[in-house]
Chain A
Amino acid sequence: MRVLMFGWEFPPHISGGLGTASYGLTKGMANIDDLEVIFVVPKAFGDEDQTKVRLIGANQVHVAFKQVFYKGSKRPIERIEVSSKIVPYTDPDDFWKLVTSEVSSYNFYVKINNKGKVDFSGRYDTNLMDEIYKYSVVASVIADENEFDIIHAHDWLAYPAGIAAMEVSGKPLVIHVHATDFDRSGGSVNPDVYRIEKSGMDAASKIITVSNLTRDIVINKYNINPDKVETVYNAVEPVKIAENCIVKKGFNEKVVTFLGRITLQKGPEYFIEAAYKVLQVMDNVRFVMAGSGDMMERMMRRAAALKITDRFHFTGFLKGSDVFTMLDMSDVYIMPSVSEPFGISSLEAMQSNVPVIISKQSGVAEILTHAVKTDFWDIDAMADAIYGILNYPALSNMFIKNGKEEVILLKWDNSARHVRDIYYRVIDNKI
């Protein structure tokens, strides 16, 4: 079975869970004999030389084929790169700026001729809505030129592409909900994003959600028939980090880490308040907020106002081996998300032998046993948990040992097999 998969980001150019999850799933699927995946991503701006960027302006989108070999996989996955101006949302701030900026894309018309060129008329902008639209246009070209049995689109940015491919080919569409705008916005949903999400969900034959938390949102907030929505939990890549990549901690104090985008969705302010409470009763501890986002400055001001800046560090966005170094230094990992569809990063922490504290409002809380679960707003419970794990080695060791055993069982191969089942059921229904 051939799967035409539309994503938005792909390693190493990833900004968060979406890229990690779609990559992990794809690798898992590559290990299944009767599955063949074509992964489509928009090419990151700046990776490609300027001539190609200009070609889009000249109403031409060039499509290049590339084969990428994954270590550990049995076969290559074909990856089609659409060279375009499309900018993956590398930073949530930019993302929101793009989303909330004036959308003037609705008044242009697109014709696809048989040479695979895209003709634009009307105003041309680089805003996100345009890019999504453009992506969908190119998707129909790709759908026209490739043979496949099913279409799989990851998250709302790729839904229009999935729908376009579906309309061109008549093949069934499966969409994969890694997050909804209700998670990202904390309730003040962008109507344009909602519209795209809703149209993707309506068009799809099957909707995969990453947790029951997300499944409930899809059913209740988007009015989708529950039978159409199925949860496939994410998993985690086994980590193989060379020891020499890791910088050992240069000081003899405990470290409590928050690793993620500093946005409303992730609940950074609750971490700061809990840190303040912990610092009232112990002092040999440092708190790290690793990441960047639109709430970073506010968080810095809050830490300064609480006079804990000498104990509270902001590292900025971490990537590559820095993430593992950070986890290796950590004694507690905390994820106080207000609304977290899944939360792969907590699994990565458990793999790195770090006890985790997660909010009950996270998808991963549904499958984890050996993690402390608190409400995102319950800073007292969070402070209690931090203090307990830091001060009672038996507690910490219990979480480390059992957590690691638990997380080893969460394999992408299992998720991939589950997705494969869904594909077959979808196709059988069609036939």
Chain B
Amino acid sequence: MSSSVKKAICFYFQVHQPFRLKRYRFFDLGHDHYYYDDFSNESIMRKVAEKCYLPANKVILDLIEKHKGKFKVTFSLSGLAISQFRLYAPEVLDSFRKLAETGMVEFLAETNSHSLVSLRSRSEFERQVINHKEMLKEFLGVEATSFRNTELIYSDTIGTWVADMGFKSILTEGAKHVLGWKSPNFLYCNSINPRLKVLLRNFVLSDDIAFRFSNRDWNSWPLTADKYASWINKLAPKSELINIFLDYETFGEHNWKETGIFDFLSYMPGAVLKKTPFRFMTPTEIADTLQPVSAISIPSPISWADEERDITAWLGNEMQVAALDKLYSLAGKVNRCEDDLIKKDWEYLQSSDHFYYMATKFFSGNICSRVIIFIIWQQNFSPMAQFMPISTLMKHLMMHS
């Protein structure tokens, strides 16, 4: 097979759980230095572990064994997710380690706390990425060579930072407004530093699984592995790379086991291998194998959130901006501080989820807004109420540092 006909399909899953914050009251200021809702964190982690992580990891391990080197997947595990596995679901971490040992799974680097630091500070960004690389090495025994930023946030500048850190490729959204007439189904490279390859998510095929799989009003319901493979095959003449990027919770949590999502996952790789010219690859392998067709210019940040595919889910109102600015104005103080607990608190506070909970923008009715589903359980909270503990916390940190 000559290199010109090599076609790749990349399956990537995001695994992240924030440390949810408890209701921190004004009266607690100066008395109480514990900010986490242990009950929610433990019960949610246990629930998602039982419904999604453990059964899905088992299906994927079976697939890897069955297809003997032909099935490969990619994961990103945020540092906060790894920390919570260690606390509440160590068997999940074991099952990921088992996947890592097969050599068929690539784990991507990111900012340890799934933070928005890439929108504020380069030095802090680099520090957090290095932390995460160390986490991956320590707990999964892997060396990360490709990168995925929080919620696929990407811009040309962020790309150059990532390239300078030695990563070979980065994942982001195949957003219509940056692609224009271009197709997401090819490999691109960063417009400033072409050494960094850019993988663009095919949101149609991805959302077919993530959002439409269990929707009975969808004219393609029920989605079978063969049907899905035939869609991919149709793209073959005009495509070199299909990127299916999903929240891992798609399996078992957003789509319950009863919808047949695990059966779909079990049969789909076989169908793709049999019926299409695409071969499963991971981002680093893709960067080494495929040739980029062009540079892609993305001057202002995009993400995979909502219809807008921008960063307004986290920085769309004054409160979010004020909170993020305050948070990173502390970076110097916290890094000089010796107290590990404060450093940890500062890190846990950074996860993008807390900023997402403060969002007040009108959510587009289209089901493509994936993060909405991810935090659906949070919707009944006032986004304001979530702002309070964070601002209070930051005050606490300021008093200490």
Mark A residues whose CB is within 8 Å of B: 247, 249-251, 286, 288, 290, 296-297, 300-301, 304-305, 307, 309-311, 313-316, 322, 325-326, 329
The 4 closest A-B pairs by CB, nearest first: A250-B30, A304-B322, A304-B318, A251-B30
Q: Does B204 contact A (CB under 8 A)?
A: no
Chain A contacts for B394, CB-based, 8 A: 310
Q: Least Cβ distance of A251 to chain B in Å?
A: 4
| Pairwise interchain contact B30-A313, C-beta atoms closer than 8 A | no
| Pairwise interchain contact B31-A313, C-beta atoms closer than 8 A | no
Q: Does B388 contact A (CB under 8 A)?
A: yes
10 contacts between A and B (CB under 8 A): A249-B30, A250-B30, A251-B29, A304-B317, A305-B318, A309-B326, A309-B387, A310-B395, A325-B27, A329-B27
Which of A288, A290, A305 has the most chain B CB atoms closer than 10 A to its own CB?
A: A305
CA–CA, A322 to B391, complex, Å? 20
Q: Least Cβ distance of A267 to chain B in Å?
A: 20
Which of A251, A305, A309, A326 has the most chain B CB atoms closer than 10 A to its own CB?
A: A309
Q: Does B321 contact A (CB under 8 A)?
A: yes
Q: Of all chain A residues, which has the CB nearest B395?
A: A310
CA–CA, A329 to B25, complex, Å? 14
| Pairwise interchain contact B387-A300, C-beta atoms closer than 8 A | yes
CA–CA, A326 to B31, complex, Å? 15
Q: Least Cβ distance of B93 to chain A in Å?
A: 36
Q: Least Cβ distance of A361 to chain B in Å?
A: 28
Q: Least Cβ distance of A288 to chain B in Å?
A: 6
Q: Does B263 contact A (CB under 8 A)?
A: no
Q: Least Cβ distance of A255 to chain B in Å?
A: 9
Q: Of all chain B residues, which has the CB nearest A246?
A: B27
With A310-B394, A313-B388 in contact, do A300 and B30 touch (Cβ < 8 Å)?
no
Q: Does B131 contact A (CB under 8 A)?
A: no
Q: List B residues 27-76 near A (Cβ within 8 Å).
A: 27-31
Chain A contacts for B317, CB-based, 8 A: 301, 304
Q: A316 contacts which of B385, B395, B398, B399 (Cβ < 8 Å)?
A: B385
CA–CA, A364 to B130, complex, Å? 61
Q: Does B401 contact A (CB under 8 A)?
A: no
With A297-B384, A310-B394, A310-B395 in contact, do A247 and B323 touch (Cβ < 8 Å)?
no
Extra pairs beyond A301-B317, A304-B319, A310-B391 (10, CB < 8 Å):
A250-B28, A250-B29, A300-B384, A300-B387, A301-B318, A304-B317, A304-B322, A304-B323, A305-B318, A315-B26
| Pairwise interchain contact B326-A314, C-beta atoms closer than 8 A | no
Q: Mark B309-333, 1 if CB is under 8 A from A, else 0.
A: 0000000011101110110000000
Q: Least Cβ distance of B287 to chain A in Å?
A: 41
| Pairwise interchain contact B31-A250, C-beta atoms closer than 8 A | yes
Chain A contacts for B319, CB-based, 8 A: 300-301, 304, 309
Chain B contacts for A288, CB-based, 8 A: 26
CA–CA, A159 to B372, complex, Å? 47
Q: Does B193 contact A (CB under 8 A)?
A: no
Chain B contacts for A326, CB-based, 8 A: 26-27
Chain B contacts for A310, CB-based, 8 A: 326, 391, 394-395, 398
CA–CA, A316 to B394, complex, Å? 18
With A251-B399, A297-B384 in contact, do A309 and B27 touch (Cβ < 8 Å)?
no
Chain A contacts for B391, CB-based, 8 A: 309-310, 313
Q: Least Cβ distance of A282 to chain B in Å?
A: 16
With A297-B360, A310-B395, A310-B398 in contact, do A304 and B321 touch (Cβ < 8 Å)?
yes
| Pairwise interchain contact A309-B323, C-beta atoms closer than 8 A | yes
Q: Does B392 contact A (CB under 8 A)?
A: yes
Q: Least Cβ distance of A310 to chain B in Å?
A: 5
Chain B contacts for A247, CB-based, 8 A: 27, 31
CA–CA, A311 to B391, complex, Å? 9
Chain B contacts for A314, CB-based, 8 A: 384, 387-388
Chain B contacts for A286, CB-based, 8 A: 395
Chain A contacts for B388, CB-based, 8 A: 313-316
Chain B contacts for A316, CB-based, 8 A: 385, 388
Which of B394, B395, B399 has the most chain A CB atoms closer than 10 A to its own CB?
A: B395
CA–CA, A167 to B387, complex, Å? 52
Q: A296 contacts which of B28, B321, B360, B384 (Cβ < 8 Å)?
A: B384
CA–CA, A303 to B318, complex, Å? 9
Chain A contacts for B384, CB-based, 8 A: 296-297, 300, 314
CA–CA, A301 to B320, complex, Å? 9
Q: Of all chain B residues, which has the CB nearest A296?
A: B384
Q: Least Cβ distance of A262 to chain B in Å?
A: 11
Chain A contacts for B387, CB-based, 8 A: 300, 309, 314
CA–CA, A300 to B386, complex, Å? 12
Chain B contacts for A309, CB-based, 8 A: 319, 322-323, 326, 387, 391
CA–CA, A363 to B25, complex, Å? 32
CA–CA, A315 to B319, complex, Å? 16
CA–CA, A304 to B326, complex, Å? 10
Q: Least Cβ distance of A246 to chain B in Å?
A: 9
CA–CA, A247 to B323, complex, Å? 27
Q: List B residues 325-372 near A (Cβ within 8 Å).
A: 325-326, 360
Q: Least Cβ distance of A144 to chain B in Å?
A: 45
Q: Least Cβ distance of A285 to chain B in Å?
A: 12
With A296-B384, A297-B360 in contact, do A307 and B30 touch (Cβ < 8 Å)?
no
Chain A contacts for B321, CB-based, 8 A: 304
CA–CA, A326 to B25, complex, Å? 11
Q: Least Cβ distance of A195 to chain B in Å?
A: 34
CA–CA, A314 to B23, complex, Å? 12
| Pairwise interchain contact A315-B25, C-beta atoms closer than 8 A | yes
Q: Least Cβ distance of B71 to chain A in Å?
A: 48
CA–CA, A309 to B389, complex, Å? 11
| Pairwise interchain contact A313-B322, C-beta atoms closer than 8 A | no
Chain A contacts for B398, CB-based, 8 A: 310
Q: A307 contacts which of B27, B28, B322, B385 (Cβ < 8 Å)?
A: B322
Q: Of all chain B residues, which has the CB nearest A316?
A: B385
Chain A contacts for B29, CB-based, 8 A: 250-251
Chain B contacts for A297, CB-based, 8 A: 360, 384
CA–CA, A305 to B320, complex, Å? 10
Q: List B residues 185-206 near A (Cβ within 8 Å).
A: none
Q: Least Cβ distance of A290 to chain B in Å?
A: 8
CA–CA, A311 to B322, complex, Å? 12
CA–CA, A304 to B324, complex, Å? 11
CA–CA, A379 to B395, complex, Å? 25
